[in-house]
Amino acid sequence: NIEEKTDSASLAQFPLVYENAELQNILTPIAGHFHLQLTYQNESARHIRLFLQLEKNMSLDDIIELLNHFEKVNIRHEGQTLIVE
Single pTM value for the model:
0.81
Residue 2 lies in a domain: no
Give the span between the Cα atoms of 35 and 66, in whole angstroms.
Answer: 20
Residue 67 lies in a domain: yes
How many structural domains is the chain composed of? 1
Q: Which domain holds residue 78?
A: 9-84
CATH assignment of the domain containing 45: 3.55.50.30
Q: Is the pLDDT of residue 1 over 60?
A: no
Number of residues assigned to the chain: 85
Mean pLDDT of the chain: 85
pLDDT digits (tens, 9 = 90+) for 32-80: 889 999 999 989 999 999 999 998 888 999 999 999 999 889 999 999 9
**Contact partners, residue 26, CB within 8 Å, separation at least 6:** 6, 18, 50, 52, 67
Any bridge partners for residue 47, and if so which? none
Residue 70 lies in a domain: yes
Residue 14 lies in a domain: yes
Residue 3 lies in a domain: no
Q: Is the pLDDT of residue 7 over 60?
A: no
